[in-house]
Amino acid sequence: MEELVISILLMVVIIMAASLLIFVGSRKDGMTKKQRVMMIRILLSAGILLALQFISAEMFDTACGYLFPSAGRWLRFACYLINYLIIGYDILRKAIKGIKNRQVFDESFLMAVATIGAMALAIYENGEYLEAIAVMLFYQIGEWFQGYAVGKSRRNISNLMDIRPDYANVERNGKLEQIDPDEVGIGSVIVVQPGEKVPIDGIIVEGASSLNTSALTGESLPREAKVGDEVISGCISMTGVLKIQTTKEFGESTVSKILDLVENASSRKSKSEDFISKFAKIYTPAVCYAALALAFLPPVVRMLFMGLSADWGVWIYRALTFLVISCPCALVISIPLSFFAGIGGASKEGVLVKGSNYLEILSQTKYVVFDKTGTMTKGVFEVNGIHHSTIGNEKLLEYAAFAESASSHPISKSLQRAYGREIDRTRVSDIQEISGNGVTAKVDGMEVAAGNDKLMKHLNIPYQDCHQTGTIIHMAINGKYAGHIVISDIIKPHSKAAIAELKKAGVDKTVMLTGDAKKVANQVAASLGIDEVYSELLPADKVEKVEELLRVKLGKAKLAFVGDGINDAPVLSRADIGIAMGAMGSDAAIEAADIVLMDDDPIKIAKAIKISRKCLRIVYQNITMALVVKFACLALGAVGIANMYLAIFADVGVMILAVLNAIRCLFVKKL
């Protein structure tokens, strides 16, 4: 019955290996050369082993004839040995290297000892070699799946690593020359042609193009860029030629910061990974010594104290089975792989995680604190309403833009943007700025006043109060009130949905901190559904408020602070976990935060938390499954109930299941 099951399994392996070679191996991003060679070895070994299943020992003896009556046994051994070396030579080499380097107790050593022992036992008893080779074959299948999963995760991160530019184009003597990005100084003009990566951060001085930022943000829609726009390294120019004046050196550019972040992510281990590493260091030697004791102590006790035969073969077989079962592959491989795949899946969505420890902390987040400006709002003033106009909305806006044309204040800039046309300075004269109140000017010969209610009171002009929250620009023309313009920081389109998604994800409390006036802060918080809001705070006050929230939070719950990274570095570093969003081009964000969201969409905050929770859920599933199956089969193996085939399932089967489960961390698109 066992041989029939193994034969069916071998047929499945052959079909699987052939299918993977044909359908996956043929794709450009399918298999590496090493994975393809390993799959060919698996296919060849499974084919030989299946063929040997149908050739009995008697058939080997018959083939050798009467001239060499004992040669059949050794010919059969040679056939199995060749197959064993085809599938297992690299494991034997690793085991020998480990012994030389005094790093004995690892998976390769356990596999080598167990399979060589099984081969030796088969020679001694003239038994079956099938078990030894089956153990090695299925172990290698598990290793292949693990390697493929790591490769897929690495490719997700490699897509991000593809942002590394190979060269920068500079114009010399009318010709383009390719030079190393490190050689380009600040203020130099570089040329980016269609299809090329922007190598260094800068400002466009000539040309326009659509920029592909998908490797940075996970967004497929291109961004339009024109003269005067800032561009960051790592984007790809899709349609036009750009001339860019660099604002940073390559080593300080966005692409360098991101690459450094990604390359160092694996060095920051989670508590789960540290536990597994420490567990394996104690567990593996312990089971090796336990297997040794199982091989020798019972036979000695039977001979010396019970007067029974030693049954060396039985106990050595049990010890070898015990060794195969005890191999901690499922834990040692699948736990780091789960985190690695989680980080890879997150990077594909434009969420950069600096290490698996931060992924673990994020999964425990129950309090999320937001900065308002630039995080939940756009951080840019926009005209949000025109009320009580006596001369028409467009005309009122035109007079306001002309009156404010000499000012560089953000409010003035927002009025000029809303007007949307070039300002003819010849139409404006006698501009006077009244500090803290507004401006007066002559526009087309008419006296125009634009400012707050204090300016209206100063000029003794009655004005209308506004029901809307925001900055109110009252307008008067020739001493008569003409209406008012409402300017406010616009809430981002997905901010309300982001708060709702956080609640769905199990976040207990959302808090907003801002330096804005209480009325504005309360209005924004109420419209978004934020639980608590603290207004009129200085940067130092925000740190104090976060520390206060950290003191009152419950148990193991973690607090995340989300900011745009521009002036939030102290708070980002003080929270349990700092999340910087809209980090494209912000060095401060990349330096200070633990998790970086490459675009400014707040919906990604909930997505990052969901990714972390899915990853940790899979980690705990794998730990539970591996330990329960291992210890159950170890007990069965020690008393002789579990044979080598059950050992194969306990080791390789559980490892493959754990690896396949870990691969699920890559699929985060629909979270």
Question: Catalytic positions, please?
Answer: 371
Could you tell me if 443 and 402 are in contact, meaning their C-beta atoms sit under 8 angstroms apart?
A: yes
Nearest residue to 638 (alpha-carbon basis) of 327, 287, 309, 301? 287
Beta strands across the sheet bearing 480-491: 377-387, 480-491, 471-477, 446-451, 438-443, 428-434
**Residue 102 φ/ψ region, left for φ over 0, alpha for ψ in the -120 to 50 degree band, beta for the rest:** left
Is the CB of residue 118 less than 8 Å from the CB of residue 127? no
The torsion angles phi and psi of 227, rounded to 5 degrees, stand at -55, 135
Three-state SS at 210: strand
CA-based angle 174:180:186, to the nearest 5?
75
Q: Which two tokens stand for residue 518?
A: 């209480």
Pairing mode of beta strands 532-534, 480-491: unpaired
Strand arrangement, sheet containing 236-237: 223-225, 209-212, 236-237
Non-local (6+) Cβ contacts of 472 within 8 A are 452, 453, 466, 484, 485, 486, 487
Angstrom distance (rounded) from CA 114 to CA 84: 13
Calpha distance 367→506 (Å, rounded): 10
Burial of 660 by CB count in 10 Å (0-12 exposed, 13-18 middle, 19+ buried)? middle
Q: Which amino acid is at 168?
A: A
Residue 160 near residue 233, CB atoms below 8 Å: no
Rg over alpha carbons for the chain, rounded to the nearest Å, is 35
Measured torsion, CA atoms of residues 497, 503, 506, 509, in degrees rounded to the nearest 10? 130
Q: In the 8-state DSSP scheme, what is residue 502?
A: H
Distance CA 225, CA 209 (A): 5
Q: Dihedral (C-alpha) 468, 474, 477, 480: value to the nearest 10 degrees? A: 80
Beta bridge partners of 367: 509, 559
Give every CB contact of residue 591 below 8 A, 6+ residues apart in sequence: 257, 569
- Measured CA to CA, the distance from residue 168 to residue 178 in angstroms comes to 6
As a whole number of angstroms, the distance between CA 524 and CA 530 comes to 9
Phi, psi of 245 (to 5 degrees): -90, 120
Please write down the long-range contacts of 119-123, taking CB distance under 8 Å and 24 or more positions apart.
119/80, 119/81, 119/84, 121/313, 121/316, 121/317, 121/320, 123/77
User: Max Cα separation, the chain?
Assistant: 127
Q: Any idea what DSSP says for residue 632?
A: H
Tokens representing 620 are: 């705990």
What is the DSSP-derived secondary structure letter of residue 280?
Answer: H
Tokens of 212: 């592909």
Calpha distance 351→348 (Å, rounded)? 7
Q: Which residue has the tokens 């659509």?
A: 210
Residue type present at position 385? G
Q: Contact 170/191 with Cβ under 8 angstroms?
A: yes
